[in-house]
Chains A and B, each alone.
Chain A
């Protein structure tokens, strides 16, 4: 455990020294992300010009939710996304070789190696926005709520990571996961809507099979209404099942890995 922590510190060191070299890229990324945040906030602002309630939430509550999913998105962009972007190429071009011979979990290495230092600034902005919405939010909340929220945010990020991996891992067999990854991004929109708007089979789809609704909507509910323990367990359970699934498919994939010859 400690060893992996030290390794991760090394990844951070690498990423930051690399990011310093490409300052223009850094500036652009920050600008793009700020625009993305503003578009998201404005989208809901416009909707609330026409209705007082959406999925049972007021505008003030909705802002807490928006801040939550922006936060999760920023975490994903910072921690996972660069790695996820490269993984299919590595699998296809046979570049996993050097990761497989190291005495470290290759899944750990390949999922976390590239910490996106340029997105890190945006993570800070997202965090700031979240703190702001919470500070201006009228209903009371306690320290326990905050703690639970942190747990569920981590949990949500893990679900997001797992779904993403499950869309990428077919590359081991299909040699191109473009279709799946596109599907992931279009379905990913489901995370950016309050879960109450999904009913019937859509609800089952987005809370169990492709649990996008669990990623941000449920954590936000901690501040917005009462979140019972059953739901809490459901969230952790889904993550556990998806994690087992990812590990299993990863193992199967490696057994099938043929490593393009050099």
Chain B
């Protein structure tokens, strides 16, 4: 399991005025800026659980994942993953863990994926039988068998992501960190990756943390979500219950002559607000519906936990 207590991470950087003059000034006195990427995070994840980590760019998702994967040292606080402190990077921990970043490739660019896999087999000391079994299973379920002998640079983005997934899962990790695994993929490739991840979760029951900007990923894969905003958790709980956070609200989708927009209003104010809208605008279409999960999460990410 994963247990995180009061985890903090601050980054220090220097700001410089733009231009050459600014650079010259920077030589003599620099303005130091500290940015808190994570402000006292607490988190507990049980074996077999898959948690969706949601937040805007720069909210601290990736920082949290990188601390748990042992890449970045925290400023203070503790975290243990299956009893290991990640940043001590013990081999025993790293053998049971994997990290997949949609933005950074891990397979060798110039060589066929199978070559990279062989190296990984050596690195993780996967024995021959298990290697064969996993290779076959992954290639079959991802339907990528025929492309494994082509140099990776000649594969499509979707095929490359599948190869990345294979590379990460060959050693059957018990902890999986997925940082935007579907980024840049077309709809059908996204679907394939999602379906694969769901089946994998059912079959092997690893602890998984998934970050994504695509709500579809979250809705399909994560019964539990954590919403992070400016380094703090603003929601940690089940996906289905997140709807209650906005309370008894309705969303009005309004189309006027030139644009479409959405207004969230408390149910009690519905009649008044609608009349108001009709009187001031040339309305061509109006829909009243319950807020979607996307709406709610977006609203939480923007304004924090709803305080109705």
Interface residues of A (CB under 8 A from B): 3, 6-7, 10, 13-14, 17-18, 21, 94-98, 100-104, 254-255, 257-259, 261-262
Contacts and interface: CB of A to CB of B under 8 A. Distances in A.
Nearest to B95: A103
A95 B109 CA distance: 14
Contact of B104 (A255, A258, A262): A262
Nearest to A262: B103
Interface stretch (B62-70, B229-237, B268-276): B62-70
Contact of B119 (A14, A255, A259, A261): A14
A262 B179 contact: yes
B101 interface: yes
A3 B125 contact: yes
Contacts of A259: 66, 71-72
A235 B24 CA distance: 44
B279 to A, nearest CB: 47
**3 cross-chain pairs, A with B, having the tightest CB-CB distances, nearest first:** A262-B103, A103-B91, A103-B94
A10 B94 contact: no
Contacts of A21: 110
A193 B301 CA distance: 65
Interface residues of B, number: 35
A6 B126 CA distance: 13
B108 interface: yes
Contact of A262 (B62, B111, B115): B62
A10 B118 contact: yes
A15 to B, nearest CB: 10
A24 B62 CA distance: 42
B209 to A, nearest CB: 14
A7 B97 contact: no
A7 B118 CA distance: 10
A6 B122 contact: yes
Given A18-B110, A96-B71, A101-B71, 7 more contacts: A7-B122, A7-B123, A98-B99, A98-B104, A103-B123, A104-B123, A261-B58
A250 B70 CA distance: 15
B122 A3 contact: yes
Contacts of A94: 104
B123 A97 contact: no
